[in-house]
A and B are shown apart, each in its own frame.
Chain A
Amino acid sequence: MSDFLLTQIINYGAPVLGMIVFIGALGVPFPGTLLIVAAGAFARQGLLAWHTTGLIALTFVVVGDSLSYGMGHFAREAVLRRFQASQNWAKAESTFARWGGMAVFWTRFLITGIAVPVNLIAGTSGFGIRRFFLYDLAGEAIWIFGYGGLGYLFGMQWEVVGELLGNVSGLALGFVLLGLGIWLGVRQWRIVEARKTNVPEA
């Protein structure tokens, strides 16, 4: 898949890269990070103009993210009908309202594997569109210009850089899941312990 997409980028340039990151933002698993790093290297070779390519890719990816946020937003009614009465839902909503900005920001360029689920959750949980847009724009700008800049800096060595970044992203996702599991486990253990101490001895 990446081979085919790379050929299309060198043939047709920024619009193809824009379409790829747009479709990727809607949930199709394209190797976006690798292609952005490659685009940086192509800019170094003079094949792409770094500023227009960067701006086109940034615009397309933010529109794609906003659409997947929109999908979550329109699914909100149905989700609320199902979970509104649940205490857990209210807790999840308030947690996302508090930490959602950071979740949106970091999943744009570091933990990219869960970017689309985060967009959907943001839309469903009623996270404000303006806040979403700002965090999204900041994170995606780092992804496009930061990672693209690394490709530019390392030129023909971009494959190694892209592979390293892709693996670091997977590693970060592993740490997040592990941390979440440990946090939930400790919380559950504390609740059980608290219940034990509150039960009066017979």
Chain B
Amino acid sequence: MSPKIQRILVFGLITAGVLLAVFFGLRAAFAFHEFRRHSLHPFAPMEARNNQPVETDVELIRDWMTIPYIARTYRVPPEILFEALRLSPSKSLSEKSLKQLNDEYFPQAEGFVITTVKAAIVEFQAQAFPTATPSSPAVSPAP
């Protein structure tokens, strides 16, 4: 390898290393800040974690989740969620993500499915688990 190519290689490695370290370093610092802000203490006793009240933070619901998964996580019967969306429960619908349901059945109303599901959960939990404080206010479904 000629000295010129070696110099280019050294320069390239150092530049790439610095860029990656700065980019991911900042992102890691931000992620760590979020981690400390959101999470429970990692070494909290498992019993304490397992005895947590029902999951009520509907802001943790994401577009990739399916109705049965959300129903299980928030302890809401899936039929309630399908009913809120005015859809009949079926195996094929149960395997679709919220985004797929929105794209297929409510293409004119972006975010309708996730908003409706959140609202249905908050409403159901308020009745079924009155002691569980919803961490997010009830969200009105989009038209």
Contacts and interface: CB of A to CB of B under 8 A. Distances in A.
Interface of A: 2-4, 6-7, 10-11, 45-47, 88, 153-157, 160-161, 163-164, 167-171, 173-182, 184-185, 188, 192
Nearest to A176: B17
Contacts of A192: 3
A3 B103 CA distance: 15
A3 B64 contact: yes
Contacts of B10: 181, 184-185, 188
A153 B72 contact: no
Contacts of B62: 3
A160 B31 contact: yes
Interface size on B, as a range, is 35 or more
10 contacts: A11-B95, A156-B55, A164-B28, A170-B23, A171-B20, A174-B19, A174-B24, A178-B17, A179-B17, A188-B6
A153 to B, nearest CB: 6
A191 B18 CA distance: 25
Contacts of B13: 177-178, 180-181, 184
B35 interface: yes
Contacts of A184: 6, 9-10, 13
The 9 closest A-B pairs by CB, nearest first: A178-B17, A181-B13, A174-B20, A170-B24, A174-B21, A177-B17, A181-B14, A167-B28, A3-B64
B48 interface: no
Interface in B82-125: 95-97, 99-100
Given A3-B64, A88-B1, A157 B17 contact: no
Given A160-B34, A173-B24, 19 more contacts: A3-B63, A3-B97, A6-B65, A7-B97, A10-B65, A11-B66, A45-B72, A45-B73, A156-B73, A160-B31, A167-B31, A170-B24, A174-B18, A174-B24, A175-B21, A181-B9, A181-B13, A181-B14, A192-B3
A168 B17 contact: no
B117 to A, nearest CB: 15
Nearest to B99: A3
Contacts of B6: 184, 188
A90 to B, nearest CB: 14
Contact of B17 (A2, A4, A174): A174
B139 to A, nearest CB: 18
A178 B3 contact: no
A173 B40 CA distance: 29
A176 B99 CA distance: 39
A31 to B, nearest CB: 12
B132 interface: no
Contacts of A161: 35, 39
A170 B38 contact: no
A171 B21 contact: yes
B16 interface: yes
Given A157-B38, A174-B19, A188 B3 contact: yes
B129 interface: no
Contacts of A155: 49
